[in-house]
Amino acid sequence: MNTQIVGVAVINAALAIGNVAAQSTLTGSAQTFPSKTVRIVVPFAAGGSNDVVARAMALPLIRALGQSVIVENRGGANTIIGTEAVARAPADGHTVLLSGFSFMSMAALRPKLSFDPMKDFVAVAGIGTQPFVFSIHPSLPAKDIKALIALARTRPGQLVYSLNGYGTAQHLCGELLKTAARIDIKYVAFAGGGPATVAVLGGHAGILISSVPPVLQHLPAGRLRALAVTSRERSTLLKDVPTMIESGIPDYDITGAMGLFAPAATPKEAIERLSMEFVKAAQNPDVKAGMLKDGFSVIPLGHAEYEVAVRAKVQQIQKIARAANMKVD
């Protein structure tokens, strides 16, 4: 090969590199976000609702952001492990947390954490909400919530509701019913929704408070009877089941939530970009279809709206917890 041609090529390459370096030096501070892989931390084990939604959103986010998007499952300690990992991550917008009611419950009920959910995080975007459902074992002679309340009053302290853990949304659903209806029912908390459901199916507890999808397969055969859902609107998966408000419990409204959070010092420009792209991703047809199948109502909220919604939910949890004398350290 002609050595002169090679020499010219090397010189041109060097000049190009020099120009890129100079441009980078001059405009580095204005570099477009994101500049590297975006990591979505899910503080639950793989396979759950949050994990499925995060992975479904990854593809439209890759297209929109022009960077790789990875989902990292950091489950354990009632979501504290994954949440703390994001609180300690660099506040550059490249690490976000996909959580929801557990984040708000943590903020309301756990004062002894090594981080402060309300001070160490900023709300990025809301994705959607999910109702819960009160179901009972068919051995209980109640066809609706009013009948269940009447039954509880004839058997004070005898009826037991099964749930997926202390301080969860399902626990708060049960305690709010106790307070609103002035009834005495007990609870048994399991390490997950699966064991809680099995306990009721086996007749070891009479009442199950759960998300909607796990009970659907048991309703047609009569292994469970759904009485009411906890949201203001009926569930799209249980259109024939009334809400608690329709059942005579005024202002009863507890829903799960799904949204994004980032470390509090994350630049405003990054938050705004993430908020815009996650709101768009939530409305992607494939993402939306998956969420509806899992019982969620897709309600995208920008970061300012979601910040307000998060604070309102934390206050609601604190109010219910105080009335029920719930304590979580």
75 and 138 together in one domain: no
What CATH number should be reported for the domain holding residue 113?
3.40.190.150
DSSP letter at 156?
A: T
297 and 157 together in one domain: no
CB 39 within 8 A of CB 72: yes
Residue 144 located in a structural domain: yes
Residue 149 located in a structural domain: yes
141 and 59 together in one domain: no
Q: 310: closest CA among 54, 122, 174, 71?
A: 122
Calculate the alpha carbon distances from 271 to 119, 244, 313 in Å: 16, 36, 21
112 and 180 together in one domain: no
Output the pLDDT for position 19. 41
What total number of domains does the chain contain? 2
Alpha-carbon gap, residue 300 to 303, rounded angstroms: 10
124 and 259 together in one domain: yes
101 and 173 together in one domain: no
Residue 140 located in a structural domain: yes
Using CB atoms within 10 A of its CB, is residue 260 exposed (0-12), middle (13-18) or buried (19+)?
buried
Residue 178 located in a structural domain: yes
What's the alpha-carbon Rg for the chain, to the nearest Å? Answer: 24
What CATH number should be reported for the domain holding residue 216?
3.40.190.10
DSSP letter at 242?
A: P
Neighbour-count burial for 169-181, b at 16+ CB within 10 Å, e otherwise = bbbbbbbbbbebb
200 and 115 together in one domain: no
Q: Which amino acid is at 69?
A: V
CB 60 within 8 A of CB 287: yes
75 and 224 together in one domain: no
- DSSP states of 97-115: EEEEHHHHHHHHH-TT-SS
Question: What's the token pair of residue 83?
Answer: 């949440």
Structural domain boundaries enclosing 54: 38-129+255-324
- Tally of CB atoms within 10 A around 129: 24
146 and 125 together in one domain: no
CA atoms in the 13 A half-sphere facing the CB of 129: 19
Calculate the alpha carbon distances from 293 to 4, 40, 56, 212, 238 in Å: 66, 22, 13, 10, 12
Output the pLDDT for position 201. 96
Alpha-carbon gap, residue 224 to 245, rounded angstroms: 21
Residue 120 located in a structural domain: yes
Output the pLDDT for position 6. 34
Output the pLDDT for position 166. 86
CB 115 within 8 A of CB 84: yes
Residue 241 located in a structural domain: no
Residue 261 located in a structural domain: yes
Q: 225: closest CA among 163, 147, 127?
A: 147
Write out the chain's pLDDT in tens, 329 residues: 443 433 333 334 333 434 433 344 333 433 589 999 999 999 998 888 889 899 999 999 999 999 999 999 999 888 999 999 999 999 999 999 999 899 999 999 988 899 999 999 999 999 999 999 999 999 999 999 999 999 999 999 999 999 988 888 999 999 999 999 999 999 999 988 899 999 999 999 999 999 999 999 999 999 999 999 999 999 999 999 999 999 999 999 999 999 999 999 999 999 999 999 999 999 999 899 889 988 899 999 999 999 999 999 999 999 999 998 887 66
103 and 144 together in one domain: no
Alpha-carbon gap, residue 42 to 99, rounded angstroms: 7
71 and 155 together in one domain: no
User: The pTM is what?
Assistant: 0.85
The full length of the chain comes to: 329
Point out the domain boundary residue: 211, 229, 247.
Answer: 229
Q: Which residues contact 246 (CB under 8 A, 6 or more apart)?
A: 228
Output the pLDDT for position 328. 66
Output the pLDDT for position 293. 87
Residue 319 located in a structural domain: yes
Alpha-carbon gap, residue 23 to 29, rounded angstroms: 11
DSSP H or E run through 202: none
DSSP-based three-state secondary structure for 72: strand
111 and 150 together in one domain: no
CB 170 within 8 A of CB 230: no
Output the pLDDT for position 329. 62
Most distant pair of Cα atoms in the chain: their distance: 100
